[in-house]
Amino acid sequence: MSGKRILMLCGDFAEDYETMVPFQALQAVGHSVDAVCPDKRPGDTVATAIHDFEGDQTYTEKPGHRFALNASFAEVDPATYDGLVIPGGRAPEYLRLDGRVIEIVRHFFTADKPVAAVCHGAQLLAAARVLEGRRCSAYPACRPEVELAGGHYADIAVDAAVTDGNLVTAPAWPAHPAWLAQFLERLGTRIDHA
């Protein structure tokens, strides 16, 4: 397998597991991942938050880690990447206000490259207007955004994922095994199980 080049769009208070797990897992199978955030450079960090499901009406939020970025947002050329990862959490809520972020997201759809978005990542997809006619999962609170953007909300189990063309989505971090497996398949990565 030849490694692919993956772009990960990060921001403060992205969900901790939805940032760190794909970042590490994709590297573990031979891909390179550039984690970037607007107005930040390599070595800068973003604060993450741990979202958990503890029986309340919505998730709870606790401080996560300081996640170190390893590439410069200002130098991103989306044409040089093979895939895109959009973690959830609160970051997509404000990243979607950045015109350059929207341009980058649209590039991956125009070029039909694999895109993996989890949880609130759908907010960024909706803002980029790339969901028209597509099946998309997300955290249930994002269902209105998916539908208002012309998408078909995939109401699936919290540990499941759905693929529609180049787009792989899931409701939250419990879906990592399914979500990452489907994204790896879209990237053409073959994983042999012992």
Residue 8 parent element (H or E): strand 5-9
What does the buried/exposed string (b/e) look like for 118-145 if buried means 16 or more CB atoms within 10 Å of the residue's CB? bbbbbbbbbbbebbeebbbbbbeebbeb
Q: Which of these is catalytic: 120, 152, 176, 193?
A: 120
**How far apart (Å, rounded) are the C-alpha atoms in residues 78 and 161?**
25
Report how far residue 17's alpha carbon sits from residue 191's, in angstroms, rounded to the nearest whole number. 22
How is residue 89 annotated by DSSP? B
51 in active site: no
Cα 47 to Cα 18: distance, rounded to the nearest angstrom: 13
Q: How many CA atoms lie within 13 A of 13 on its CB side?
A: 10
Q: Which residues are catalytic?
A: 120
